[in-house]
Structure 1
Amino acid sequence: MTSEPSRRKGRPAGRGRAGRRRGAPDTRGEILAAARAQFGELGYDGATVRGIAGAAGVDPALVHHYFGAKEKLFLAAMEIPFDPAIISERIADDSVGMGIGERAIRTFLGVWGDPAARAPILAMLRSAMRHEAAATLLRQFITRAILGRVLVAFDGIPSGPLRAEALASHLIGLAIVRYVVKLEPIASVSDEELIALVAPVLQQYYDGAF
């Protein structure tokens, strides 16, 4: 017999399995875009490879082909859409005529005010509150990509690392209340009102004596 084992009866040669789009130059990007949207809306636990594949218009097997398990897809999809070095420099730069507390909150609100940046960060926060792997990812990102650079501004200050971490934790808590829980009136107050309220408190992490 000369039949080919890989060809199913009645299917023309050269045609892939039904329901599966062959890989194309933009397929990986489409999967990542769908993953960011699904993780942002549903969190880590709620999003599924099958759901992400459906949103991207591909077979789940193709998602596994590019990224493996859901955890690896999450890590790829949550690539931060801004330069942490620039963000850190803005916070640490003392030549702009404002204290580090105001610089930190203005930079923070500037990032969160960008919808393109907000979606993946929201996904990280939601997942960090529910999934240990995501919490570890968020911790590593904050520690290595941002906090490590901001610590330069705390050089020579007693308990500098602790103070810097306290400032960061205040901002993370604010993000959860304002953008995840959406507790009023914090959720809808203007940026300038929030800056006036929070900046002096953040400044105390830098100036305060203890």
Structure 2
Amino acid sequence: MTSTGQTKRPGRPRGTSDARERILASARELFARNGIDNTSIRSIAAGAGVDSALVHHYFGTKQQLFVAAIDIPIDPMTVLVPLRDTPVEELGHILPSILLPLWDSEMGASLVATMRSLLAGSDVSLIRSFFQDVIIAEVAPRVDNPPGTGRLRVEFVASQLVGIVMARYIIAIEPFASLPAVQIAATIGPTLQRYLTGDLPGL
């Protein structure tokens, strides 16, 4: 109750007009320095000079804040969640069949532009954190056979996928850049699957 006897209406936490940008700046710095897992909402809020509740108000979860911080136009869980229901022995085939049509779409063009910008700038550590704390953390435990190989297996897959982005969308090597997505997916699927579940030299 307020002093006038009226119930105070709930609203958004107080913050200055530039609070959102300060939160993003703090998040980029801390995510780049410490990674996602070792960065807390509280530390981001402290760096921005705001209350933690304001961070949640603007961005929701820590992962949603990370997506906003690296400015990609799609939540990576849109891709990763369906993979949770995919049998391990099919992951290598399903992954490119999901990613390539997405990259070929209008939304994918924004994704590629973001990656190009990050690679050209000083935010490579954010891409590294994205792979390590989101992609690898999600998939590696499922392919960790023999134990201790899961992380490296996913990194081999990531190297292949990043190479495709570079060759198809950034450098645009022909005729590769114009091949149907389904043809590329069918070609690289067996290789990705071998990385994930097959025998690898030295492992």
Q: TM-score, normalised by structure 2?
A: 0.58
Partner residue, 1:170: 160
Partner residue, 1:107: 98
1:200 Cα offset (Å): 0.8
Stretches of structure 1 that go unaligned for 5 or more consecutive residues are 1-24, 29-74
Aligned partner of 1:116 among 107, 131, 145: 107
Partner residue, 1:198: 188
Output aligned runs, 1:2-13, within 5 Å: none
Aligned partner of 1:83 among 67, 71, 75: 75
The structure-2 alpha-carbon separation of the partners of 1:157 and 1:124, relative to structure 1 and needing over 3 Å to count, comes to: farther
Aligned partner of 2:134 among 119, 126, 145: 145
Q: Contact conserved, 2:93 with 2:185, CA < 8 A, in 1?
A: yes
Partner residue, 2:144: 155
- Length, aligned pairs only: 135
**CA displacement, residues 27-58 of structure 1 (integer Å, 9 cap, x when unaligned):** x9xxxxxxxxxxxxxxxxxxxxxxxxxxxxxx
1:164 Cα offset (Å): 0.7
**CA displacement, residues 147-178 of structure 1 (integer Å, 9 cap, x when unaligned):** 21122321344411100111011101111110
**CA displacement, residues 45-79 of structure 1 (integer Å, 9 cap, x when unaligned):** xxxxxxxxxxxxxxxxxxxxxxxxxxxxxx95742
Residue 129 of structure 1: SS of its match in structure 2?
helix
The structure-2 alpha-carbon separation of the partners of 1:98 and 1:209, relative to structure 1 and needing over 3 Å to count, comes to: closer
- Identical positions, percent: 30
Distance in 2, Cα, partners of 1:145 & 1:122? 18
Q: Contact conserved, 1:108 with 1:171, CA < 8 A, in 2?
A: no
Residue 111 of structure 1: SS of its match in structure 2?
helix
Residue 182 of structure 1: SS of its match in structure 2?
coil
The structure-2 alpha-carbon separation of the partners of 1:150 and 1:122, relative to structure 1 and needing over 3 Å to count, comes to: same
Distance in 1, Cα, partners of 2:142 & 2:97? 16
1:137 Cα offset (Å): 1.4
Distance in 1, Cα, partners of 2:155 & 2:114? 18
CA RMSD of superposed structures (Å): 2.6
Output aligned runs, 1:4-153, within 5 Å: 78-95=70-87, 99-119=90-110, 121-131=111-121, 133-153=122-142
The structure-2 alpha-carbon separation of the partners of 1:157 and 1:93, relative to structure 1 and needing over 3 Å to count, comes to: farther
Distance in 1, Cα, partners of 2:97 & 2:129? 23
Amino acid of the residue matched to residue 109 of structure 2?
R
Q: TM-score, normalised by structure 1?
A: 0.56
Amino acid of the residue matched to residue 83 of structure 1?
D
1:106 Cα offset (Å): 1.1
Q: Contact conserved, 1:90 with 1:107, CA < 8 A, in 2?
A: no
Distance in 2, Cα, partners of 1:206 & 1:112? 22
